[in-house]
Amino acid sequence: MQAQAPAKKPHPDTVVIVDDDPLVRGSMESLFRSVGLAARSHASAIEALEAPLPDAASCLVVDIRMPHLGGFELQQRLGERGARVPIVFVTGHGDIPMSVRAMKAGAVDFLPKPFRDQDMLDAVQSALAGDRERRARGDAVRQVREQHARLTPREREVMAGVVRGLLNKQIAYELGLSEITVKLHRSSLMKKLGLRTVPDLVRTAQIVAEY
């Protein structure tokens, strides 16, 4: 009897620190690891852009003012790449207009230095929760699209009719099929999509159309 391979451990939630101050980087890494989070750090925004993002729920903690490329510019470049990782901004030179700009740009939080450890942990946990939800939603959408891709062209036509609220006989008339053939296609597509009810089918069609 062959021994079973050990189950892969899930990747831990990861905080990526981007700050040009080595003392700040070291302090935050220790803080996050003390509560069971994975942490890695970069001394510049350029260095952060050259590294791949974690393949797990993650967030960035980014200093706004850094040499060569600041936090806002990092956020902009990540956005241009389609990276949707949440960001917590920190700065030792904060003001109200800067904090407003950060939040409007989509930051999860904006913390002035020095910040309380608990405030940072609260901000990071909120950011990670949001990223977990985004990833779960993305996984669900990918599954729906993969299931939909397995439908035959005729099944997709029948699905479109059902979503429009047509009866089987009306779909049969539109497609030039017998009503029993429509029923068979309808049963097949529902099984392929793992659905039982018409409302579920309508929601699935909306997901396919939106994404």
Residue 1 included in any domain:
no
The burial of 185, by beta-carbon neighbours within 10 Å (0-12 exposed, 13-18 middle, 19 or more buried), is given as: buried
Examine the domain organization and report whether 129 and 28 are in the same domain.
yes
**Angstrom distance (rounded) from CA 13 to CA 39:** 9
User: Does residue 4 register a pLDDT over 60?
Assistant: no
Examine the domain organization and report whether 112 and 162 are in the same domain.
no
- For the chain, percent of residues with pLDDT exceeding 90: 65
Residue 104's pLDDT is 73
Residue 126 included in any domain:
yes
- Extract the tokens encoding 44: 């510049």
Examine the domain organization and report whether 134 and 155 are in the same domain.
no
For 96-117, what is each residue's pLDDT tens digit?
A: 677 777 777 778 888 888 899 9
- Average the pLDDT over 16-34 and give the result: 95
Higher pLDDT, 140 or 188: 188
Residue 44 included in any domain:
yes
Sequence-ordered list of residues with C-beta below 8 angstroms from that of 174, at least 6 positions apart, any chain = 161, 166
Residue 144 included in any domain:
no
Examine the domain organization and report whether 156 and 205 are in the same domain.
yes
Element (H, E) at 62: strand 58-63
